[in-house]
Chains A and B, each alone.
Chain A
Amino acid sequence: GQNIDQPTEMTATEGAIVQINCTYQTSGFNGLFWYQQHAGEAPTFLSYNVLDGLEEKGRFSSFLSRSKGYSYLLLKELQMKDSASYLCAALDSNYQLIWGAGTKLIIKP
């Protein structure tokens, strides 16, 4: 079956760095997405990886290892507004997204 695993909840301190991991098992693979979702709001796109390696976008970076079925989202210089859920999703061979349950990130002052 197809499956996405990510931690349910993580806590970090304002100004610090946090890494949110995601492992996936899908029928075929056409890319890995990260979305941010603030409580009560819609998900918004953060990043897309299809090749191995690190993609950096400001304070956020996303890494992919296709051979290991693994990705992580790295958030630097954490701000209180980064408190949100982070959703990992893999695009399968039918170009459908398989979603993880999300990681709730709590930022403490």
Chain B
Amino acid sequence: NAGVTQTPKFQVLKTGQSMTLQCAQDMNHEYMSWYRQDPGMGLRLIHYSVGAGITDQGEVPNGYNVSRSTTEDFPLRLLSAAPSQTSVYFCASSYSNRENTGELFFGEGSRLTVL
């Protein structure tokens, strides 16, 4: 059972370049989300999805796009990378955001550096 798989683990971009972070889960989870983690700050929600075909913005959505064409996949696209997007990105999923536990399962993270 792979859980949540994120790729790539490391990426260096130049300002203005675009890229996609891939995320896939094999647990049939309805809820998927993308977070960024920066030193001294809590995890910040970028975008999330409560099911296939449904996406919504989180706390810091600017500069990022997402889509959810299948239950399994939730890619995050950086449209035109900026140095402020240098961060560690985590994809996370859960069975349902509204259940009692709401326990999140995280991918291993993607460390992105924008020069």
Contacts and interface: CB of A to CB of B under 8 A. Distances in A.
Interface of A: 4, 8, 30-31, 33, 35, 41-45, 48, 50, 87, 89, 91, 95-102
B45, B58, B97, B102: which has the most chain A beta carbons within 10 Å?
B102
Given A4-B42, A96-B45, A97-B45, A45 B103 contact: yes
A4, A95, A100: which has the most chain B beta carbons within 10 Å?
A95
B102 A31 contact: yes
A43 B97 contact: no
Contacts of B40: 8, 101
A30 B101 CA distance: 10
22 contacts: A8-B40, A30-B102, A31-B100, A33-B102, A41-B109, A42-B90, A42-B106, A42-B107, A43-B90, A43-B104, A43-B106, A45-B103, A45-B104, A50-B100, A95-B102, A96-B48, A96-B58, A96-B97, A97-B104, A100-B42, A101-B41, A102-B42
Interface of B: prevailing SS: loop
Interface in B75-115: 90, 97-98, 100-109
A98 B58 CA distance: 11
A42 B111 CA distance: 12
A8 to B, nearest CB: 8
How many chain B residues sit at the interface, stated as a range, is 20 to 34
Contact of B102 (A4, A48, A87, A102): A48
A96 B46 CA distance: 12
Given A42-B108, A43-B90, A97-B45, 15 more contacts: A33-B103, A41-B108, A42-B106, A42-B107, A44-B106, A48-B100, A48-B101, A48-B102, A89-B42, A91-B102, A96-B48, A97-B43, A97-B102, A97-B104, A98-B42
Contacts of A4: 42
